[in-house]
């Protein structure tokens, strides 16, 4: 993930500006808020933490309602095509392989899945799993938003605490 964030910062940073770069990174699946806050950290773009947090949170939240509302009908339509059916099935299988805790604990499982910043977790995958498990929209959205808040605290401490100490503070 660090290499991808660094590559995006290098290629987007000068053309798009620091704030737009971290916003875009926060919207990208896999990178999401974690990548946005890493990019914003003193080690890379050196965006002040109080500026970076709302930008990264908003960037990470924007795709969530669309995933929750529209991914199932989109996947159902794509599964009817020869070209996209294998890709959709692969994405569904990968997401569902991580769904056991969410299925068991539903709301709090989804909160922790989104909130603990590990590879393969986050708002995108959590929203996809919630949609596939038919978790009601409001419940899923609330859980994902709480998870994003938890991830924000953890990643701010890592990006600005640890990396800030290593690369020159805030």
* Rounded Cα gap, residues 125 and 110, in angstroms: 10
Going 116 to 118 to 123 to 128, the CA torsion angle's sign is negative
Average pLDDT taken over every residue of the chain = 89
**What is the pLDDT at residue 137?**
97
Per-residue model confidence (pLDDT) at position 14: 62
**pLDDT for res 169:** 46
Q: With beta carbons less than 8 A apart as the criterion, state whether 137 and 71 touch.
A: no
Q: How far is CA 142 from CA 75, 121, 148, 157, in A?
A: 23, 17, 10, 23
**Six token digits for residue 136:** 């009601």
Q: In sequence order, which ranges of 17-84 are alpha helices (DSSP H)?
A: 18-27, 32-40, 49-61, 63-78
Global pTM value: 0.86
């Amino acid at each position: 993930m660090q290499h991808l964030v660094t590559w995006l910062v290098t290629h987007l940073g000068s053309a798009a500006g620091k704030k737009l770069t971290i916003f875009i990174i926060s919207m990208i699946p896999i990178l999401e808020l974690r990548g946005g806050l890493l990019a914003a950290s003193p080690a890379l773009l050196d965006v002040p933490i109080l500026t970076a947090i709302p930008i990264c949170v908003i960037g990470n939240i924007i795709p969530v309602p669309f995933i929750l509302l529209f991914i199932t009908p989109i996947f159902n339509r794509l599964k009817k095509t020869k070209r996209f059916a294998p890709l959709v099935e692969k994405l569904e299988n990968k997401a569902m392989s991580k769904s056991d805790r969410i299925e068991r604990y539903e709301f709090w499982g989804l909160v922790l899945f989104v909130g603990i910043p590990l590879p393969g977790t986050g708002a995108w995958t959590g929203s996809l799993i919630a949609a596939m498990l038919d978790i009601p929209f409001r419940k899923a959205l609330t859980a994902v938003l709480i998870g994003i808040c938890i991830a924000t605290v953890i990643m701010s401490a890592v990006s600005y605490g640890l990396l800030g100490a290593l690369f020159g503070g805030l």
